[in-house]
Structure 1
Amino acid sequence: MLSVMPHVIIADDNREFLELLATYCSRAGWTVETCRDGAELMHVVAAGSEPGLLLIDVMMPVVDGIEAIERICDYPRPLRVRFMSGGDSANLIAAKLIAMARDMSVGRNIFKPIERAEFLSILAEEEEHLLRFGSKAGVGS
């Protein structure tokens, strides 16, 4: 099973949006790690081992969300992914297809801006998924 609190890693180069999502998550009982670009995201994911939810902006500097997911999929860690964007949905679709082709667990995309109630609903849905996902993945082995 998961640890006491579900874990989320949020990667977004928009500081205000990143802080807003982090606040929503922590108030909903999640442990939160934040990243400002895909390179930082890869480092944070590689450093952990517990199951987690990744909320990834597809358009970030240094390493974008699509490039990051191509590398993250090789890490031996149970992860669930949702991609985010305030722009063109083509990038979201590409990111999702790449992640799915690499056998990652991928949820519906998130379009920015997002209302608080909708985001909290997504968190509740993802917490349930992570509980099932973590127990099936043999977390801790």
Structure 2
Amino acid sequence: MDQVVKELNTMSSDFHFQSILVIDDDFELSEMLCTYLKSMGYQVQVCNDGQEGLSEAVSGKHYDLILLDVMMPKMDGFDVLKKLRASHSTPVLMLTARGDDYDRILGLEMGADDYLPKPFNHRELVARIKAIVRRHNIAATGGGIEQDLFVNGVHLSPASQLAKIDDVELTLTTTEFQILRLLMLNAAQRVTKEEISLKILGKPLQAFDRSIDMHVSNLRKKISAVAVDEKIKTIRGVGYMLIIGSH
């Protein structure tokens, strides 16, 4: 096990703390996946039945990828995928003990991004995850050019690294810009300090670390200098939220 974790750590240098939802009723496998993926810097959430997994997948939390088992109690993977695709485009990699062509084709037809039969090699799993997320990100940003964001009077242009409020340009540091971008991408949803630390600062949030609070405080001051209404709301003890409209 230690050797596996060591190998995975050496493969993790180009990962950016992505978030993965594992939906699988195999408790032992789920625990192993958590160990593998967390050792690489991934954030991992586990659900052990289909209904719970679907609820988590559509809860509003951001997941870069879902690992979805086929055979599960309460709701199988195909039903989960069907309901998920009605409203969400989160990438899905299906896992199953049945590796026949029928299941593979059915899963792909229903919207799965890829399919991997159990048992699988951990290196192959990681390679599949990396490839799927890369493809999804390229598609979502129009071939690598991220689209401008417009939320509650805030205009942010990732391509030019410019931020404006009602046509007044904000002078932001790189960290402030990236925090604002993350909040805008998750407008009206809370973004935890842990998520900000991982995705923006590239490190886990440490106890008594006030760096995130300071960055947000500076960002707020720059916004309030040109905006008449509040843009960023504090979720006490959790993190922050970008407000969609005036409150």
TM over 0.5: yes
Q: Does 1:116 align with 2:122?
A: yes
Question: Could you say which structure has the higher helix fraction?
Answer: 1
Q: Secondary structure at the match of 1:126?
A: helix
Higher relative contact order (CA 8 A, sep 6+): 1
Partner of 1:50: 62
> Moved runs in structure 1, 4+ residues, more than 4 A?
136-139
The structure having more radius of gyration, on CA atoms, is 2
Match of 1:14 among 15, 23, 26: 26
Q: Does 1:82 align with 2:93?
A: yes
Q: Following the alignment from structure 2 to structure 1, what is the Cα–Cα distance between the partners of residues 43 and 131?
A: 16
Q: In 1, are the aligned partners of 2:99 and 2:116 still within 8 Å (CA)?
A: no
Please give the residue correspondences for 1:1-141 in structure 2 after superposition, counting only pairs within 5 Å.
5-75=17-87, 77-89=88-100, 90-99=102-111, 106-136=112-142, 139-140=185-186
Moved more, 130-139 or 37-46: 130-139
Q: Which amino acid aligns with 2:57?
A: V
Q: Which amino acid aligns with 2:118?
A: K
Unaligned runs of 5+ in 1: 100-105
Q: Secondary structure at the match of 2:58?
A: helix
Q: In 1, are the aligned partners of 2:68 and 2:92 still within 8 Å (CA)?
A: yes
Q: In 2, are the aligned partners of 1:12 and 1:56 still within 8 Å (CA)?
A: yes
Structure 1 residues 27 and 134: alpha-carbon distance in aligned structure 2, compared to 1, 3 A threshold: farther
Q: Which amino acid aligns with 1:60?
A: M
How many residues get paired?
A: 131
Q: Secondary structure at the match of 1:5?
A: coil
Q: Following the alignment from structure 1 to structure 2, what is the Cα–Cα distance between the partners of residues 28 and 123?
A: 12
Unaligned runs of 5+ in 2: 1-15, 148-184, 188-247
Partner of 1:102: none
Kindly report the root-mean-square deviation, in angstroms, between the aligned alpha carbons of the 2 structures. 2.3
TM-score by length of 2: 0.48
TM-score by length of 1: 0.79
